Amino acid sequence: MTTGLKQAELNERLARVVELGQREASRGGQPVLVSTTARVPHVDPADLFDRARTDERTYWEQPDKGFSMVAIGEAARLTGGGERRFSQVAAAWRRLLSRAVTDTSDDAPVAAPLCLGGFAFDPVRRREPIWDEHPDALLVIPRFLFASSGGSTWLTVSAMVGPGSDGRVADAVAADLRDILAGGARVAGAAESGGEAVPEEDVEAGRWQGSVAAVVEDIRRGAVEKLVLARRLRARAPRPIDPGPVIRRLRAGYGGCTVFAFARGGSCFLGATPERLVRFERGVVRADCLAGSTARGGNEREDEALGDALLADDKERHEHALVVRALRDALGPLCSRLDVPATPGLLRMPNVQHLHTPVEGVMEGEWHVIELAERLHPTPAAGGLPRQAALPLIRSYEGFDRGWYAGPVGWVDARGEGEFAVAIRSALLRGNEAVLYAGCGIVAGSEPEREYEESCLKMRPMLWALNGKPT
């Protein structure tokens, strides 16, 4: 490190909090979390992700906002299971913080220490082995967290210190950090790592469209108002697929989205989602209503015509209105003020445009971002309405485990603030295989062929990111 904080100075700060942590652990008779934060020279987040000498790493970037986080290694983890998974990890995070020893920086973009991770879409379903590394709830406190905003970067180093710990803890962490800062990338630049990932033939297309027709009939009978039906597509490459080049394409092509990657063990769940579930900061809550979609046009006139048609489409407006209503019902009772635009606008992505309504409110009382995520998930844009009737139907019609697809992924800091996104436009990488997911909101008037075409449109970003060429 040639500018900013010198390695020796960081080592001294780490040794100091480890010593304090050891004293606290000895008093309480159990390990405590220690963390120190300092400003460091800026390093490209994708390069940092590549340099990691571990499969335990996380990538989170909002390119257009100039904000990113890269988490490497694991100081501690919080897990939960079943329908109480949100409250379980929130309680575990509070307990861990209650005795933590920290030396943080007030000017950092996040209040360290923090944890990053995600939640399964539906914990009451048949589990599949491909999601073994991504359980019902997993939040990781990273050993190293690089957080960047506006071109400046802060590093938080964390470790668990037990009653019998000594200076070797700090020495081991410092050695790992030197390896990361000096190491070369796993994959050079945007080099291809696995070769072309070729999608398998979709032999289930007819069955999926039949399910759409059955859901429309369920809606006609009054079983649900709306149901989001997902499908998946497998693609195979000749060699293992490295997430690095995929991340670089997503950040370049989808700068208005949240680009994420959660690598655990032998798998990596990644994507570029346009949909924020919730952001909570300084008492203000923000959320997105995103439902109703159409393609982009080949030129400006065609693009505007498609957008205008979407705004005028009764079926799409009805689908969107259900999402807005549910979000207002969930957040309204918690807020002293809730601002919801009367009509939706358009959120334009490179290959698709959506009806979009941003919501912002001022919260009353003490809240935690995980509690808000629990209250909102799954929104009708990812599950259906009513929620309790929709989830059993999703299990029966889809016949596969969504895992973290369409679940909340994100981060929470030491103040209980943070952000979770809905993990759509995503894929799970395992070896030389990628499993892509897409879902469509089915309401009265939905047409099976049109919904299937929309699902294909939504899979294009990940197919492009895998191979670097149009699909």
Domains, the chain, ordered by start:
7-182 (no CATH), 198-467 (3.60.120.10)
Q: DSSP secondary structure string, 32-64?
A: EEEEEEEEE----HHHHHHH-SSS-EEEEEEGG
Tell me, yes or no, if 371 is annotated catalytic: no
pLDDT at 193: 60
pLDDT at 91: 97
Distance CA 303, CA 432 (A): 36
CB crowding 172-204: b at 16 or more within 10 Å, else e: ebbebbeebbeeebebeeeeebbeebebeebee
Bridge partners for 267 per DSSP: 264, 430
The active-site residue, picked from 225, 275, 433, 451, is 275
Treating both helix axes as pointing N-terminal to C-terminal, what angle do 448-467 and 205-221 enclose, rounded to 10 degrees? 130
The CA radius of gyration of the chain, in Å to the nearest whole number, is 22
pLDDT at 44: 92
pLDDT at 333: 95
Residues 304-324: pLDDT tens digits?
999 999 999 999 999 999 999
Match 């950092």 to its residue by tokens: 108
Please tell me the total number of residues recorded for the chain in this structure. Answer: 471
pLDDT at 108: 82
Cis peptide before 448 (omega within 30 of 0): no
The active-site residue, picked from 226, 417, 419, 451, is 226
* Residues of the chain below pLDDT 50: 1-4, 185-191
pLDDT at 188: 39
pLDDT at 323: 93
Tell me, yes or no, if 275 is annotated catalytic: yes
